[in-house]
Chain A
Amino acid sequence: MTSVWMAALVAALLLPFYRVIKGPTVFDRMVGVGVVGTKTVMLLCIIGHTYDRLDMFLDIAIAYGMLNFLGAIIVSKYLEPGGDPR
């Protein structure tokens, strides 16, 4: 069962790389990177469940999710013209 989940998730993880490479604007690329990061968190949780080391893999997943969120926020603030006056 877990191998089916992992295979489907790896397929879903490789699909957005098309958008990262081809995307016409830089925002499309950032959306693709964010989707890949979310799927990586899911894959890490399922890998930890498969190999019975959930405690170790969950710490990695939490750190990866935080880095993913911070990266998207920082890049969108960098790309935003004018910025928020508040």
Chain B
Amino acid sequence: MSTWVGGGLVTLGVIFSVIGSIGVIRFPDFYSRAHAASKPDTLGLMLTVLGLAVIEGASLPSAKLLLIAAFVALGNPTATHALSRAALRSGLEPWRRDEEEA
């Protein structure tokens, strides 16, 4: 039972991370790419790691997996936010629709 639940969680996480990678390639400017890099990626990693912890059961590796999940949930959005703030302060303009069409 726990194998199926954990496998489903890991599959969902891998799907989210593939979607995040496609977003990093396809979005039009840096800020939307940072959005695609932080949210689906963090969710995908947390789902994968929690699924592996469900498969593993209660043990020391499961505790380490939960530690990775907590660390990435704090660290990945923080890093992306710092990069975006640096980009905004160095004068990178956000993309607008009318610039492309004009």
Q: Which residues of A approach B to under 8 Å, CB–CB?
A: 1, 5, 8-9, 11-13, 15-16, 18-19, 25, 27-28, 30-32, 34-35, 38-39, 41-42, 45-46, 48-49, 54-55, 58-59, 61-62, 65-66, 68-69, 72-73, 75-77, 79-82
Interface size class of B (residues with CB under 8 A): 35 or more
Residues of A within 8 A of B24 (CB): 15-16, 19, 31-32, 35
Secondary structure type dominating chain A contacts? helix
Q: Are A76 and B83 in contact (CB under 8 A)?
A: yes
Residue interface mask B50-75, A partner, CB < 8 A = 1? 00100110001100110110011001
Give the most central of B14, B15, B25: most A CB within 10 Å: B14
CA distance A9 to B44 in the complex (A): 11
Residues of B within 8 A of A34 (CB): 37, 76, 79-80, 83
